[in-house]
Amino acid sequence: MAERPEDLNLPNAVITRIIKEALPDGVNISKEARSAISRAASVFVLYATSCANNFAMKGKRKTLNASDVLSAMEEMEFQRFVAPLKESLEVYRREQKGKKEARKDKDKKADSEEQDKSREEENDDDDERMEEEEQNEEEEVDN
């Protein structure tokens, strides 16, 4: 675990960015308020993680998964966040699937290009051998 309580806080840059995105333009926030929000967010994350961990332990698992987090949100009485979280999770999964498929397509393309190069090299080798054989035959005929 963390050595100091401050180690559990979220990075200030992340907190500042989230706050700026949530507030309208021209609204400023004091350093104290930013610090308080940071601590509150850290406590929330730790509590949500603890609740999700309980669901994983009930399932005799050591790894938390998305369903554990969603169940924890319901247990913590944050049901209104469950639907948006599910939507975000689906978007994330689709993006990951798209990236995986793109990687597969790229690998297949690279493999096929490699095979094409190998075939070309083999054909070039065959052509060279045929030319040599023809030259040898011509030399034998001349002799």
Domain CATH code at residue 30: 1.10.20.10
- Residues 118 and 66 both lie in one domain: no
- Residues 61 and 13 both lie in one domain: yes
- Residues 15 and 34 both lie in one domain: yes
Judged by average pLDDT, the poorest of 22-36, 39-53, 86-100, 128-142 is 128-142
Instruction: Provide the whole-model pTM.
Output: 0.62
| Residue ending a domain, choose from 77, 107, 123 | 77
Tell me the two tokens of residue 58. 């009930």
- Residues 67 and 49 both lie in one domain: yes
- Residues 70 and 88 both lie in one domain: no
pLDDT in tens, 92-139: 999 999 988 888 888 877 777 777 776 777 777 777 777 777 776 666
| Residue ending a domain, choose from 77, 103, 124 | 77
Better-scored residue on pLDDT, 42 or 130: 42
Torsion over CA of 62, 68, 72 and 75, rounded to 10 degrees? Answer: -110
pLDDT of the residue at 131? 72
pLDDT in tens, 51-103: 999 999 999 999 999 999 999 999 999 999 999 999 999 999 999 999 888 88
- Residues 95 and 56 both lie in one domain: no
pLDDT of the residue at 2? 62
CA atoms within 13 A on the CB side of 142: 6
- Residues 46 and 60 both lie in one domain: yes
CA atoms within 13 A on the CB side of 27: 10
CA distance 93 to 73: 20
pLDDT of the residue at 60? 95
pLDDT of the residue at 113? 73
- Residues 56 and 16 both lie in one domain: yes
Q: What is the span of the domain harbouring residue 101?
A: 82-142
- Residues 58 and 92 both lie in one domain: no
Number of folded domains that form the chain: 2
- Residues 121 and 69 both lie in one domain: no
pLDDT of the residue at 143? 52
pLDDT of the residue at 82? 94
- Residues 15 and 61 both lie in one domain: yes
Amino acid at 139: E
| Residue ending a domain, choose from 77, 98, 125 | 77
CA distance 143 to 140: 5
